[in-house]
Amino acid sequence: MTVDIPLVNGTSYCTLTAHSKEAFEKTVKFYGDFLQLEGRSISGNSTLLFNGAVSLKLDLEIDEIKQKVAEAQYEQLKSTTITQDWRASVHESLVFNTANIQENKNYLVEENLPRQAYPTDLFPMQLYTLDPLGNVVGVTSTKNAVSTMPTRPPTSDESVTSSLVSKVPSYTDLKKAVPTSDTYPSLPASSNKPKKAIAVMTSGGDAPGMNANVRAIVRTAIFKGCRAFVVMEGYSGLVHGGPEYIKEFTWEDVRGWSSEGGTNIGTARCMEFKKREGRLLGAQHLIEAGVDALIVCGGDGSLTGADLFRSEWPSLIDELLKTNRITEEQHSRYKHLNICGTVGSIDNDMSTTDATIGAYSALDRICKAIDYVEATANSHSRAFVVEVMGRNCGWLALLAGIATSADYILIPEKPASSREWQDQMCDIVSKHRKRGKRTTIVIIAEGAIANDLTPISSADVHKVLVDRLGLDTRITTLGHVQRGGTAVAYDRILATLQGVEAVNAVLDSTPDTPSPLIAINENKITRKPLVESVKLTKSVADAIKAKDFKKAMALRDTEFVEHLNNFMAINSADHNEPKLPADKRLKIAIVNVGAPAGGINSAVYSMATYCMSQGHKPYAIYNGWSGLARHESVRSLDWKSMLGWQSRGGSEIGTNRVTPEDADIGMIAYYFQKYQFDGLVIVGGFEAFVSLHQLERARDSYAAFRIPMVLIPATLSNNVPGTEYSLGSDTALNALMEYCDVIKQSASSTRGRAFVVDVQGGNSGFLATCAALAVGAQASYVPEEGISLEQLSQDIETLAESFAKAEGRGRFGKLILKSTNASKALSAESLAKVMTAEAEGRFDAKSAIPGHIQQGGLPSPIDRTRATRFAIKAIGFIEAQQALISDARADNDGFNPDDKELSGTAAVLGVKGSHIVFTSIRQLYDFETEVTKRVPKIIHWEATRAIADHLVGRKRVD
């Protein structure tokens, strides 16, 4: 590629060369469509694309070798779309000014072409893609490609496309080109077209979060201009039919449901629906109610029934017509039934999804119960056998085992002979006791079996612990306590996002579309084929029945297997022979930097115990960089001293916000050299991110830093670049959610009362946005948007209308969440005063300041288990990078600090979409970070704001 006149604010003329006929034709079409250029053939091998201001010449020179090089470059760049800034990967790129960057973006979305947008995907100032020749092509709506002037926000009649969490449009559809009415709530203007009717039902065992799922489905359907129905009492309601069981719901009918446990529309087992006559009645009643699509929230049995119902639908309505139970018009109108599944199950036993609605709430109950039990066990030096749910799936037992550092677990996927499991358990418990542990916790899933399929009961485990080890042992069966209570924040948000996606899925579905199941992989909402997911789930139980346990484990998702391996590794610590030979064993330093966050201790504990099992020597740097520089605060970690760390809040090794340069980077290098560290793991927030950057930049001067270094993000703000999830953010979110639930209850007791809650998070609005979604706040104000007087005025009016329509005490209380840094002029207290004054007696507002409560107490199970997962991946990263950097440590003259491979050995571990990735700190710091604001340039949670606003009827002022 040659650029004749390269300009910062665009390219007026350039020449491109294609090396195959196919690439030539594709490139002509691409530039014609993307930049709206006219094409004119100059000769058989040349085409000119132009629009007056821009001229682009494309030449054809057939060359197979160069064509393969171009194709390889295209694929390589495409593979790094979410992990690397293309601008840093290529020597040159084409950048053009554009009058409407949203139009360019819409083309890329429609054609499913790779793209990178800056600073955000919602309102981009710069947009980059790849042409068919592998060139990076950009457009900008600013005066030049490095401008910091914000792009003009779209007007109300423009289409807005948000960054997607799903593989298919979901968040986009909530806001796309839908004008809102003038009255509360913010809904589409009425249309003369017949409205589609979408029904939702909950089936099978209840699960916390089902109500949030129903609320999201009902309100999203209404927002989309559809009629929303609920089917009471599950499939039994379909069989009975009539307005008592199939009810049309309004916007206000589901107010406040996010914070309620169980399922308000009921669930029941229905033997009648398993027979064809029952399904025939169900079809008749749906048609009589005018329902076009059905969304089912339940487990594998419920979803199997749903898919069977859809597959039989044509024959069912044919039979109904023949028996005169429906009319010809009804037969024609309801010829197809679209069905979608959202998985509500506390067992988390559905394949193809990382989490089911209710699973993490049940896990939260289990972990709290075990934390309580462990306190009394420690008092008496007792053993406890804790039985948890999980008939065919040991997920709850496994994750609880990791989160509470249990001594032993029994799950159906990994059975052993009666003698083997008894010997293994007694061996591990004995080793733990000999090293001074006073408590013994054994967790058993209700479906635990030996390899001859003989059930293993909690009484069996109790007998072994008493008879063989002589331990004072008690049994605790948690039972239905695991299902009870309100949903944790994760389940409320998961249920809400899946409900939104489910409505999008049924509206997108055609008669030929397979029934979708809404799943989540890492942080990404996806659609999976319902039939295949259910079939895969059932095949696990079939494999267990057939005693093919290896196949059962293989059918579980990779994360399950990874968790099991992690549990076994950290549980063995230094009790067994190390796995690695002596020459592969390393000295690894661990330091905490920044404010305390839930999960920090879990990460340190998991890293240290995993290091021990591998044969590495873990060292803790106490009290951060200042502790090292001033007091040489390096201590080796031993297993006994860390007992209980997995479930503790705060930071046991101490933490502060001091960076290496603040503390004395030369002294830090001296101690690194003295202890001969082979690797470093930093756990912390933005100060930890800056610390890693400083250490990586100092490698040229200090050879001691030429070691693999990795950052595990841990901050409630979730503002570390390179990841969509930070340890501590879930714990903080739960603490804030519980606080808001209590405040909302107080507000409900006084008619016309709203609370303005001050939310931490620095310059990141992540916590306020997610909490608003979880608790159903009427509005949230974040630093990324600020508080405009126009929006504040509109929010006050919307609140007043909402209070006017509220009926019943439970619907009076309203919440407004405000990030502390959302406005320098308005604190939570002053904002409440302004709202009260402007409401003119229609309602009043009070401020509420949760403060450091938001850091949480005990870390949530999500933060504990993810901390373990991240910790072990971090150690794996250090092990893998040793060979690459070992030569650089000794060669001062030949060390090249700008070598990409070497700089990549200092990385941030992060969750991006459906992947866990390691991204070079240099790449992140130089290209993806707003350093002065302490936030990443790309706001990954931005699309969630549109959903949070629309589900409470908030009107946005452009």
- CATH of residue 665: 3.40.50.450
844 in the same domain as 869? no
User: Do 707 and 747 lie in a common domain?
Assistant: no
Q: Is residue 566 part of a domain?
A: no
Residue 545 CB neighbour total at 10 angstroms? 12
| H or E element, residue 443 | strand 440-445
45-90 tens-digit pLDDT: 888 887 766 778 888 999 988 899 889 888 988 888 877 878 777 7
Q: What stretches in the chain show pLDDT beneath 70?
A: 1-13, 52-53, 123, 142-184, 186, 188-193, 807-812, 890-891, 893, 958
- If asked whether residues 239 and 311 sit together in one domain, one would say yes
**pLDDT at site 654:** 96
Q: Does residue 570 form part of some domain?
A: no
* Residues tagged in the binding site annotation for ATP: 205, 269-270, 299-302
- In terms of domains, do 25 and 111 share one? yes
Binding-site sequence positions: 205, 269-270, 299-302, 345-347, 382, 389-391, 446, 474, 480-483, 657, 715-719, 753, 760-762, 846, 852-855, 934
**CA distances (Å), 399 to each of 25, 49, 445, 861, in order?**
54, 59, 11, 8
Instruction: Among 93, 108, 140, give the residue marking a domain's end.
Output: 140
Residues making up the binding site for substrate: 345-347, 382, 389-391, 446, 474, 480-483
Is 172 a domain residue? no
Answer yes or no: do 292 and 311 share one domain: yes
**Alpha-carbon distance values, 333 to 288, 291, 308 (Å):** 11, 10, 21
Q: Which residue type occupies 546?
A: A
Dump strand ranges (E) for 69-125: 94-97, 115-118
| Residue owning tokens 């010829």 | 335
Residues 721 and 827 in one domain: no
Is residue 344 in some structural domain? yes
Annotated binding site for beta-D-fructose 2,6-bisphosphate: 657, 715-719, 753, 760-762, 846, 852-855, 934
Same domain, 341 and 206: yes
Say if 36 falls within a structural domain: yes
Asked, for residue 158, whether it belongs to a domain, the answer is no
Catalytic site positions: 347
Residues at the annotated binding site for Mg(2+)? 300
- Based on the fold, state whether residues 391 and 461 are members of the same structural domain: yes
| d(C-alpha 347, C-alpha 356), whole Å | 8
Q: What is the pLDDT of residue 765?
A: 96
331 and 263 fall within a common domain: yes
Q: What is the CATH number of the domain that holds 83?
A: 3.10.180.10
CA distance 230 to 208: 18
User: The CATH number of the domain where 773 resides is what?
Assistant: 3.40.50.460
CB-based contacts of 760, cutoff 8 Å, min separation 6: 716, 717, 732, 767, 819, 820, 851, 852, 854
**Same domain as 775, residue 758:** yes
- pLDDT tens track for 846-887: 999 999 999 888 999 999 999 999 999 999 999 999 988 877
Token couple for 17: 């060369």
Please indicate, yes or no, if residue 546 is contained in any of the structural domains.
no
434's tokens: 């000999």
Estimate the crossing angle of helix 942-950 against helix 766-775, to 10 degrees. Answer: 30
User: Which domain does 897 fall in, by range?
Assistant: 577-727+859-927
Same domain, 344 and 365: no
Residues ≥6 apart with Cβ < 8 Å to 933 = 763
Q: Is 170 part of a structural domain of the chain?
A: no
pTM of the predicted protein model: 0.81
Cβ proximity of 517 and 343 under 8 Å: yes
Residues 133 and 18: their CA atoms lie apart, in Å, by 7
Per-residue pLDDT at 51: 75
Cα distances (Å, whole numbers) of residue 118 to 123, 127, 958 = 8, 7, 20
Number of independent structural domains in the chain:
5
E strand or H helix that includes residue 104: helix 101-110
In tens, the pLDDT along 481-507 reads 999 889 999 999 999 999 999 999 999
Gap between the Cα atoms of 496 and 357, Å rounded: 10
Asked whether residue 41 falls in the same domain as residue 97, the answer is yes
Per DSSP, helices labelled H in 762-905 are: 766-775, 789-805, 828-839, 861-890, 900-903
